């Protein structure tokens, strides 16, 4: 973590008025530590995403169409669960366009001080990223994310 701490031109560590060290990530608006009082769920507009041609397979005992909701899993980590779900049934897969998703996650990356959203499907024994993006501003996950990778062309995605 020392590479995240800001240094003066002299090499000395920089401190705020209260004595705390200044971190590089604090230049950005996104937090490096999980803020308090975040919502229990966030969502995306699924009408903007579609499954990729490479989305195939998944060992699922049941499937449910995903409504685009992310429910809180831990402090700064939300997973894809429909708005009416409170837990993840074993063997259940969420789907987009009839294709099974392997991972849907919205989280804070505390090492890079950015919010990250990922929507990933199964792909013949592996995984295929539909859409992944980041947001470097704001104290909540809500806002506009910019695509970093994925087979869906959409350049930005709004989390609300």
φ, ψ (nearest 5 deg) of residue 156? -135, 160
* Predicted TM-score of the model (pTM): 0.79
User: Is residue 14 within 8 Å of residue 33, measured between CB atoms?
Assistant: no
pLDDT at 3: 47
Coil, strand, or helix at residue 25?
A: helix
Report domain extents, the chain. 26-159
Burial degree of 133 (CB within 10 A; 0-12, 13-18, 19+): buried
Taking residues 55-79, report their average pLDDT.
95
Residue 109, pLDDT score:
97
Q: Which residues contact 77 (CB under 8 A, 6 or more apart)?
A: 105, 106, 107, 108
Say which residue the tokens 């800001």 belong to: 6
Task: Specify the range with the lowest mean pLDDT, choosing from 64-68, 82-86, 142-146.
Answer: 82-86
Return the percentage of the chain with pLDDT > 70, whole number.
Answer: 82
pLDDT tens digits for range 38-65: 999 999 999 899 999 999 999 899 999 9
**What pLDDT, on the 0 to 100 scale, is given for residue 141?**
97
Q: What pLDDT, on the 0 to 100 scale, is given for residue 160?
A: 97
Residue 19 confidence (pLDDT): 52
């Amino acid at each position: 973590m020392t590479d995240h701490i800001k240094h003066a031109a002299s090499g000395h560590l920089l401190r705020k008025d209260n004595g705390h060290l200044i971190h590089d990530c604090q230049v950005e608006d996104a937090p490096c530590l999980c803020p308090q009082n975040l919502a229990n769920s966030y969502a995306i507009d699924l009408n903007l995403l579609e499954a990729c041609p490479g989305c195939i397979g998944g060992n699922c005992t049941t499937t449910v169409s995903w409504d685009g909701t992310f429910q809180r899993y831990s402090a700064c980590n939300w997973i894809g669960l429909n708005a009416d779900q409170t837990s993840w049934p074993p063997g259940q897969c969420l789907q987009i366009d009839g294709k099974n998703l392997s991972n849907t996650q919205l989280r804070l990356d505390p090492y890079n001080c950015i919010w990250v959203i990922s929507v990933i499907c199964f792909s013949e024994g592996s995984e295929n990223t539909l859409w992944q993006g980041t947001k470097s501003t704001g104290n909540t996950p809500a806002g506009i994310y910019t695509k970093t990778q994925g087979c869906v062309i959409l350049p930005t995605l709004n989390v609300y």
